[in-house]
Structure 1
Amino acid sequence: MEPRNNTQMSEFLLLGFSEDLELQPLLFGLFLSMYLVTVLGNLLIILATISDSHLHTPMYFFLSILSFVDICFTSTSIPKMLVNIQTQSKVITYSGCITQMYFLLFFAGLDDFLLALMAYDRFVAICHPLHYTVIMNPRLCMLMVLVSSIISALHSLLQSLMVLQLSFCTDMEIPHFFCELNQVVHRACSDTFLNDMVIYFAAVLLAIGPLAGILYSYSKIVSSIRAISSAQGKYKAFSTCASHLSVVSLFYCTCIGVYLSSAVTQNSRPTATASVMYMVVTPMLNPFIYSLRNKDIKSSLKSLLGKETLKVPIVLKLKKCP
């Protein structure tokens, strides 16, 4: 059959997790609750860091940006999936698929860079504590986030423009709950060699690069912690990194697990299920990891929630005197 030009494309079909109609209400309730917890938890982290002047430091600045990115990251795919489940439709328009792919790549890349920036912040705080305020000044922090955003935006723009050059045939079914780049590319009829090369090169540059920076930072941090003589000092130094290290481990382990499983098996449904770990579960757990292991965040959240409680008006019914 003659391949159709990509300008004639109108829609893709997102097959999701299961075609069993009895499972759809369960999936809808599960992902709706997870999405709401993700948005609420990350929003509380943002409000806590903004409202508490004690948290106006580089570490919490990066944390608030990470929380915002996590909200946007999940919002690019989960609401569309919920609408499809509710309407019993699997359709996503061609333009909608490309747009979703762009923002997914953008926020995933920015998430990756932010984890590396947070590792660098902890490296400076522990290895160069006397120069911390000079090195991690507000201007440098803003510049690093801006550069990371530009690189992520250019990467996602490049990948999206390359997909727009592809031609597609009749196989418009994507065995996923979102427009995953690899799956969309492999639905094309035209040659995808250049697309594959760019995808692999970008994965090495934008994923392994920040990971190498994180590993280097923590190797230096471990060396500095080992040099501390007191056990209390070692514990205090390590506790400042524990939350971030937990988030990094969760993010990278789930991502690597998903893409290794996709390389081993040709069945995309298990891969789609595993993708939930880094698409939904990791952004949902991040606020809990940071709030449960961080006294400053916990006290700020208590103060924030206490203020909101005090703002609730109390109406007293006065009895009229006889």
Structure 2
Amino acid sequence: MGLFSRGDKKPGFMAGVRDEVHGAHQEGSEIVLWSELGGVRFQVVTATAETVAAPQGSFRILYQPSKTIGVPTGDLLVTAEEVDRDLALRICSRRGISGLMGVYTPSRSDADALMRAAIGEAPTEFSSCHRFMRACVSNLRGRPGESGLPGPMCCYGEFRLPGDGSADAAARTQDEDDGFHVVDGMVRLSPDLGGEDLEFRPLDPDSVNAAEAGRFYAVLTGECKSVPGTPALSGPIGRDAALAIASSWYRSGVLGLYTPDRADAEALAREASTQEPKERFRKRRGVPLACFEPVPYDHDPTAAVYFGKLL
């Protein structure tokens, strides 16, 4: 006998788990919303630019099939018909669910108005959501919940799929994976990190010694595929951008930070962490500097805040 000895219990039990974690579950060609979102059924189809298209001011639900733990298992789905704004607002207001269900509307202004109403503050803009829902589409999100997941997001604008071969999808994919993409030899940070264009120089004694105390600098590790070579250091960036980089727990970690003083590095790492940050006194990811690793949520560290002199 397995955990579920009666065949009629397993679907109901697992559907209830999915509802609480993700906000809905799939039954054939339909999704069924969590009872706290109304328990309504909607016909769904595979999400493409054509099936997602909707009149201005209208909304559709996006749903990413996945394992219960959140690993995507198929194509992104979209409701065959539009849904009313009140339901879209209720979905995006449920900050405790994972982010594998969200909504789509054509206009950024409508997306912004919806998310502000849902979360009570200005949302953060991202250029892709493929780590959560398999689409390269602009989206607005609130602050992550206790799990570190983004919660429901409102997507808008041109809809692309990851790996469609376009330069735009490739740039959006790298934004979500690494936090930047390369434009005309410059590193452009992703929208949620401020979107600034940065120029880098080799990370060596000259660049490290020229760094000013109290300032933060972006670091490209030696593992970065799109900017191959040895580690590199940018000019100074704002503290908000630095905190956003340090807090990007799900990204690859090829983008990090540098500040000369240990105390400043530790303070930023603590602000970006929900647990005690880890201090390292050895080369990490090819960067010959000591560092603090922020530990946001219950996940392994990715980005590092480097400090001090070269090892």
TM-score interval, smaller chain: under 0.3
Highest Rg: 1 or 2? 1
TM-score scaled by structure 2?
0.23
Query: If each structure's helix is expressed as a fraction of its own residues, which one has the higher value?
Result: 1
TM-score scaled by structure 1?
0.23
Q: Highest relative contact order (Cα 8 Å, sep 6+), 1 or 2? A: 1
